[in-house]
């Protein structure tokens, strides 16, 4: 390849061809410009003026001057906390208007509620072995923190401003979680002197939930109207604390717990069909994805084991809640298994959710495990996986393939015998909270069978015998739970509507052909009518 030659300065500036002759090119010779016909020594090397380099360096310095020093150090020397600097906010980002708003909320709490009595209400509630499903381990700590914050306040504005400022400053910081952190160290990062808005929100969520289980409590409320008034007030305070925490853009584990418990509270207070419940469940799903908890949690070795378990439980509760609410409302689920990969705690095989087979027998239970909130969360999560598989059947165009997949074994015996409700609930001689868990577990299993049979029905107006029989079992248990609600703890009874109403719909259609029910199914029509009447009265 011939060497590329440079044009002289006159030809180059005029963008004309140059014959590169020396000492003067032909074009410059013809125009008598021999004095200006000069060739550059390094024609193909672009030089950058010194002042441009200085200017660019000055711009870079101005840009990086805006980065806080701790974040700049994290960029140059990454630590074992890969997510922390994404959510960290400088303390000066909290403005005085926000602090003033928070101070008004603090004053409103002091004026409208007796914090000490509310704390005692929460203590009495959890003494019945009932608690928040996900944040139950933090309920007592949040109550103690509220007593610490509001003890001795005399209602002065300066005190409220001081409390609000501290709450904002603490809520703007990431939680201090190290691999060696104990549970007490973890709680110390958001309790007492380090209280956050999320802590107050969890407390009032627990207050609202306690009013559902306790019909009266001393001088705090003695009538149903007073109870509902406190319930709505506590729910509003929980909402306001959550909104403040979300506005600070400092997503963390504590905020996720508050989001989920706030959603559950709205499900109890407003109903699952309300806009508040549906929207807040969507917010929970968004936070799950933002934190990456839909993927493997154990990859982050900087977190202690109890925090990893808490994160898994948050995903499991959100996933199962998403399936139940989506099916109940007839809306697409937000959290889909194919986009998630998470190992099941306590499972020796570590079956990831994206590869879980259509059976519950692959999950192994500890022989000495009690039926508590953790066990209930695991079973609900496993059932939710199968419910999503059942929903996929409705998209299958080949009916034979649909039948084959629907006949996959769903083994009730996969649940340990001590956890299974085999007979009538009223004859179950267990503690109130355990009876509630067992009833919830049975409803979850029946719901899977219900969805599988529903996917095989060609015409909804003509349900088959198996679907009618399953619906009758669901309705019977749902009604029994409603009748015996005074002898149960209100942990799982809130999901009765998910199962009881669809079963009632199928049975109502089947009543149009009574002879078919009595001859082919063998269920009692009078029992169905009686159960439907009780369900309507309860709803």
Q: 217 φ, ψ to 5°?
A: -155, 95
Tell me what pLDDT residue 424 has: 87
CA distance 181 to 305: 10
CA distance 49 to 51: 5
Closest Cα to residue 482, out of 467, 497, 502?
497
Helix, strand, or coil (residue 221): strand
Distances from the Cα of 504 to the Cα of 446, 447, 458, angstroms: 14, 13, 19
Q: 37 φ, ψ to 5°?
A: -80, 90
Helix, strand, or coil (residue 12): helix
Q: In sequence order, what are the beta bridge partners of 217?
A: 221
Helix, strand, or coil (residue 217): strand
Residue 425, token pair as written in the block? 């609930």
CA distance 285 to 297: 16
Residue 37, token pair as written in the block? 């016909």
- Sign of the C-alpha dihedral, residues 312, 316, 318, 319? positive
Residue 338, token pair as written in the block? 């194919």
How open is the CA angle 493-428-537, to the nearest 5 degrees? 40
Q: 294 φ, ψ to 5°?
A: -85, -5
Region class of 274: left (phi > 0), else alpha (psi between -120 and 50), else beta: beta
Distances from the Cα of 359 to the Cα of 218, 295, 387, 407, angstroms: 49, 22, 11, 11
Residue 250, CA atoms < 13 Å, CB-side half-sphere: 23
Residue 365, CA atoms < 13 Å, CB-side half-sphere: 22
Tell me what pLDDT residue 23 has: 77
Tell me what pLDDT residue 495 has: 66
Tell me what pLDDT residue 519 has: 61
Distances from the Cα of 381 to the Cα of 97, 264, 320, angstroms: 43, 16, 5
How open is the CA angle 363-369-374, to the nearest 5 degrees? 75
Helix (H) or strand (E) holding 11: helix 9-14
The helix-helix angle for 224-247 and 157-171 (nearest 10°) equals: 60
Tell me what pLDDT residue 198 has: 98
CA distance 158 to 103: 9
pLDDT tens track, the chain, 539 positions: 455 677 888 888 777 888 878 778 888 877 777 777 887 766 655 545 444 444 444 644 444 454 455 444 444 444 444 333 333 444 446 789 999 999 999 999 999 999 999 999 999 999 988 999 999 999 999 999 999 999 878 878 899 999 999 999 999 999 988 888 999 999 999 999 999 999 999 999 999 999 988 889 988 999 999 999 999 999 999 999 999 999 999 999 999 999 999 999 998 888 766 777 889 999 999 999 999 998 876 655 678 989 999 999 999 999 999 999 999 988 999 999 888 886 665 443 334 444 444 445 556 777 778 888 888 999 999 899 999 989 989 888 888 888 888 876 567 877 888 899 988 888 888 888 888 899 999 999 999 999 999 999 888 777 888 899 999 999 999 999 888 887 777 655 556 778 899 999 999 988 887 656 666 677 888 899 999 998 888 77
Closest Cα to residue 311, out of 255, 366, 273?
255
CA distance 446 to 441: 9
First to last CA, the chain: 89
> Could you identify the residue written with the tokens 């072995």?
129
- CB 311, CB 253: distance < 8 Å: yes
Our measurement of the distance from residue 151's CA atom to the centroid of its chain's CA atoms, rounded to an integer in Å, reads: 33
Helix, strand, or coil (residue 152): coil
Helix (H) or strand (E) holding 29: helix 26-30
> Could you identify the residue written with the tokens 């002042």?
51
The helix-helix angle for 224-247 and 197-213 (nearest 10°) equals: 160
Tell me what pLDDT residue 410 has: 63
> Which residue ranges make up each domain of the chain?
1-45, 91-290+365-374+393-538
Residue 494, CA atoms < 13 Å, CB-side half-sphere: 21
Asked if CATH classification 3.40.50.720 holds for the domain at 1-45, the reply, yes or no, is no
Neighbouring residues of 250: CB distance < 8 A, sequence distance ≥ 6: 87, 88, 89, 171, 172, 173, 174
CA distance 512 to 468: 13
């Amino acid at each position: 390849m011939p060497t590329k030659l440079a044009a002289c300065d006159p030809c180059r500036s005029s963008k004309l061809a140059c014959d590169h002759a020396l000492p003067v090119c032909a074009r410059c010779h013809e125009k008598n410009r021999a004095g200006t016909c000069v060739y550059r020594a390094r024609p193909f090397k672009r030089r950058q003026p010194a002042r441009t380099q200085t200017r660019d360096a000055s711009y870079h310095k101005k840009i990086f001057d805006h980065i806080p020093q701790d974040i700049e150090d994290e960029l140059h020397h990454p630590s074992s906390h890969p997510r922390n600097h994404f959510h960290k906010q400088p303390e000066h980002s909290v403005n005085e208007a926000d602090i003033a708003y928070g101070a008004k909320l603090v004053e409103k709490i002091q004026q409208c509620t007796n914090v000490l009595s509310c704390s005692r209400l929460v203590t009495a509630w959890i003494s019945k072995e009932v608690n928040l499903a996900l944040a139950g381990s933090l309920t007592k700590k949040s109550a103690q923190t509220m007593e610490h914050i509001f003890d001795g306040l005399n209602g002065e504005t300066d005190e409220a401003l001081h409390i609000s400022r501290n709450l904002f400053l603490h809520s703007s910081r990431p939680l201090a979680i190290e691999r060696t952190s104990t549970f007490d160290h973890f709680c110390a990062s958001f309790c007492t002197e380090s209280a956050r808005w999320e802590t107050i929100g969890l407390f009032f969520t627990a207050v609202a939930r306690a009013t559902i289980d306790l019909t009266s409590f001393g001088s705090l409320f003695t009538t149903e109207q007073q109870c509902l008034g406190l319930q709505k007030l506590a729910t509003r305070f929980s909402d306001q604390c959550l909104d403040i925490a979300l506005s600070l853009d400092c997503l963390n584990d504590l905020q996720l717990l508050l989001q989920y418990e706030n959603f559950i509270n709205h499900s109890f207070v407003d109903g699952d069909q309300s806009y508040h419940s549906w929207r807040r469940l969507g917010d929970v799903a968004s936070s799950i994805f933002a934190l990456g908890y839909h993927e493997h949690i154990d990859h982050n070795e900087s977190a202690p084991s109890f925090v990893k378990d808490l994160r898994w439980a948050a995903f499991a509760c959100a996933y199962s809640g998403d399936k139940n609410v989506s099916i109940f409302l007839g809306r697409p689920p937000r959290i889909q298994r194919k986009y998630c990969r998470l190992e099941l705690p306590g499972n020796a095989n570590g079956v990831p959710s994206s590869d879980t087979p259509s059976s519950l027998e692959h999950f192994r239970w500890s022989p000495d495990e009690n039926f508590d909130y953790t066990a209930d969360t695991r079973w609900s999560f496993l059932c939710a996986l199968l419910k999503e598989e059942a929903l996929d059947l409705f998209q299958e165009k080949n009916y034979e393939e649909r039948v084959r997949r629907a006949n996959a074994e769903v083994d009730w015996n996969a649940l340990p015998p001590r956890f299974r409700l085999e007979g009538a609930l009223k004859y179950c001689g267990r503690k109130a909270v355990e009876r509630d868990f067992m009833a919830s577990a049975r409803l979850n299993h029946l719901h899977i069978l219900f969805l599988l049979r529903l996917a095989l029905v060609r015409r909804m107006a003509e349900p088959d015998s198996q679907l009618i029989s399953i619906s009758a079992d669901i309705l019977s248990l749902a009604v029994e739970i409603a009748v015996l609600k005074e002898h149960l703890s209100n942990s799982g009874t809130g999901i009765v509507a998910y199962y009881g109403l669809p079963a009632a719909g199928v049975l109502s259609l089947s009543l149009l052909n009574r002879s078919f029910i009595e001859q082919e199914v063998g269920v009692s029509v009078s029992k169905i009518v009686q159960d439907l009447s009780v369900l309507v009265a309860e709803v």
